[in-house]
Amino acid sequence: MRRREFITILGGTAFVWPLAARTQQPPIPVIGFLNSRSLGDTAHLVAGFRKGLAESGYVEGQNIAIEYRWAAGEYDRLPALAAELVERRVAVLVATGGEPAGVAAKAATSAIPIVFVVSADPAKLVGLGLAASFSRPGGNSTGMSIFTSDIGAKRLGLLRELVPKGTKIGFLSNPGFPTAETQLNDLQEGARALGVEIEILRASTASEIDLAFDTISQDRPAGLVVAADPFFDTRRNQLVVLTARHALPAMYHLREYAAAGGLISYGIDLVDVYRQLGIYAAKIFGGANPADLPVQQPTKFELIINLQTAKTLGLRVPQSLLIAADEMIE
């Protein structure tokens, strides 16, 4: 190649490189999504979160990216997963699936904005260090408090309407979950008012769930209340199958249990809660300070009854529950 031709080509290349650099798009911001549950049983919740983002103009893969970390009900994995997302320098850290995820996120960073969903009441929220108050969280975190652990007495009362002659009700609890004792205390208070005995069953692993149902088969309680706990949510199908096998009427805290064949559920619309988390994350992208965004609470609770399961168990659903139900699955 002649020297004149080489200079011409090199000059053309030198002209192209700066133009490419000028047209290159900046990297899109990344959300870190930390969840105590697993991908397989939270796809509907992630869809709700994406919907909240989209309502505010953020679409995953277009102008926002999301990195996911799942603990699959193993809470001791959360600190390391949170640290990974902080190391990734995410723009916002969304901590979902109860107190363990929120606490792990808060321990991992005091600089990155955090949006959480927990079940703690105001006093517990302050005690965990997640917020100074509901109205003015302060610090770098805000989100949703869903109070799923504080309506155990209500759940027990609804279950008792289905088994009005039952004098003993089982309560399946995970001692490794922070609100386990709070839920038990609330349930026992309701039990005293109803004149019902509570049999406490504890499980922190899948095999321990099986063992708990071995105990149930011997003691034969009239029904079962399953604690609000992300670990149990990851074992939803196992629980529904076991309650069916033992012909045991059971009360759960989320619609997804009833949809999977569980008898009855009473709790918040969790998909909408995740939508609200997406909206909050978008507000922070828009410049809002999490310290100034109030911790929100859900206003809608839903009662779901699976009529096919009730029929299989030989239960008559009283008219009062039929009228109160938000949805009946047939």
pLDDT over 70 (residue 223)? yes
Give bridge partners of residue 69 from the DSSP assignment.
Answer: 34
- Give me the DSSP letters along 90-122: -SEEEEESSHHHHHHHHHH-SSS-EEEEE---H
Q: What's residue 126's pLDDT?
A: 79
The class that CATH gives domain 149-268+302-329 is alpha beta
Q: What spatial distance separates the first Cα and last Cα of the chain, rounded to whole Å?
A: 80
**Superfamily assignment of 30-147+269-300 in CATH?**
Response regulator (3.40.50.2300)
At 150, the pLDDT band (50, 70, 90 cuts) reads low
Average pLDDT, rounded, for the chain: 89
CATH 3.40.50.2300 domain span(s) along the chain? 30-147+269-300, 149-268+302-329
pLDDT over 50 (residue 11)? no
Give 110's Cβ-side CA count (13 Å radius). 3
Residue pLDDT, tens place only, 232-245: 999 999 999 999 99
Residue pLDDT, tens place only, 106-136: 999 999 999 999 887 767 777 888 888 888 9
